[in-house]
């Protein structure tokens, strides 16, 4: 029986030489693979109160929307700077090649709401950390952060756990 990682394609030297890019589009394109990933990501949260699922741009939108649907809760996107039309709050974070900014509508999360953060890949944890800070600024309480892939060598999981976050991943790949 195929596992989630069996549906994920590896593309060498993308976007830079020496990077082994873990491409989840092949997972999303396969109906069995996609269902398997969503079901496995949902499993730890059955019976736990979650008010909203927050998906991180961009592949987190695909996963987060499907998970929110299955949980019968709302979905909230966190986007790159300048992409949301309403009033937003912003959080800068560091990338290996510079800095970026994530934004969240300032009315998307109400104080005390239980939030599940979803994305496809956990690498250094910068995007997730910025997103957590945005959610907490609005008073959201993060139940967990769920990812398909963890790249343990890059330390993202450790960073999030040091922040007090529960982290769930479906598979790990070595290297970058």
Active site residues: 59, 96
Residues whose CB falls within 8 Å of the CB of residue 2, separated by 6 or more in sequence, listed in order: 32, 33, 36
R_g (Cα) of the chain, nearest Å: 16
Q: 100: how many CB neighbours lie within 10 A of its CB?
A: 15
Phi, psi of 65 (to 5 degrees): -65, -45
The two beta strands, 98-105 and 88-95, are antiparallel
């Amino acid at each position: 029986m195929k596992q989630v990682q069996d549906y994920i394609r590896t593309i060498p030297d993308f976007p830079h030489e020496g990077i082994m890019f873990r491409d989840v589009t092949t997972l999303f394109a396969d109906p069995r693979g996609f269902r398997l990933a969503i079901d496995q990501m949902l499993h730890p949260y059955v019976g736990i109160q979650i008010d909203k699922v927050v998906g991180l741009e961009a592949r987190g939108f695909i996963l987060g929307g499907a998970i929110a649907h299955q949980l019968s809760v709302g979905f909230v996107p966190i986007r790159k700077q300048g992409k949301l039309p309403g009033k937003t709050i912003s959080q800068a974070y560091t990338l290996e090649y510079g800095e970026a900014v994530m934004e969240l509508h300032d009315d998307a999360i109400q104080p005390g709401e239980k939030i599940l953060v979803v994305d496809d890949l956990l690498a250094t944890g910068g995007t997730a950390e910025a997103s957590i800070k945005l959610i907490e600024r609005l008073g959201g309480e993060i139940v967990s952060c769920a990812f398909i892939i963890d790249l343990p060598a890059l330390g993202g999981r450790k960073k999030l756990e040091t922040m007090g976050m529960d982290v769930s991943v479906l598979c790990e790949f070595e290297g970058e």
